[in-house]
Amino acid sequence: MNAPKRIMVDMSATLIHHGHVRLLKQAKQLGHVVVALTTDEEIRSKKGYEPELDYTARAEVLLAMRDVDEVVPSPWLLDEAFLAQHNIDLLVHGHDNSNPIAAEKLHILPRTEGISSTQLRARVLKAVSQKMEANS
């Protein structure tokens, strides 16, 4: 019997939401799921903010999910060498993929409409700002 395919999903997972859960569930249907989790340093340099949870905490949360088999630290962009280093058969990503990966090693899935970590972060900041204004 052949070993299951090794499927990589790359994410920052700074604020995990149902879009992440759906993506991981679909990836799990394809094989053994390895999450390439963006390091704290890469989040700071590429996104320009401190992650709400550090790498260790984000990895712990992901590893507690039934559809995640492994978590590995990753740079912002993945390339063929990174996939080869981790023996990955297929990279699963949302339609906004910018990783320079050959089409035959890439499986694009639609993003979950109406949700993103950026949107969640903005909602929280807006609520905090409104509360502060109301209390002043």
Q: How far apart are the first and last CA of the chain?
A: 67
Residue 125, φ and ψ in degrees, nearest 5: -60, -40
Q: Is a pLDDT exceeding 80 seen at residue 127?
A: no
H/E element, 118: helix 117-135
CATH class of the domain at 6-135: alpha beta
Q: Going by C-beta distance under 8 Å and a sequence separation of 6 or more, which residues neighbour residue 119?
A: none
Q: What is the spatial distance between Cα 92 and Cα 126, in angstroms, rounded to a whole number?
A: 32
pLDDT tens-digit map of 14-63 = 888 888 899 999 999 999 999 999 999 999 999 898 998 999 999 999 99
Question: What whole-number percentage of the chain has pLDDT above 70?
Answer: 88
Query: What pLDDT was estimated at residue 80?
Result: 95
The SS3 of residue 40 is helix
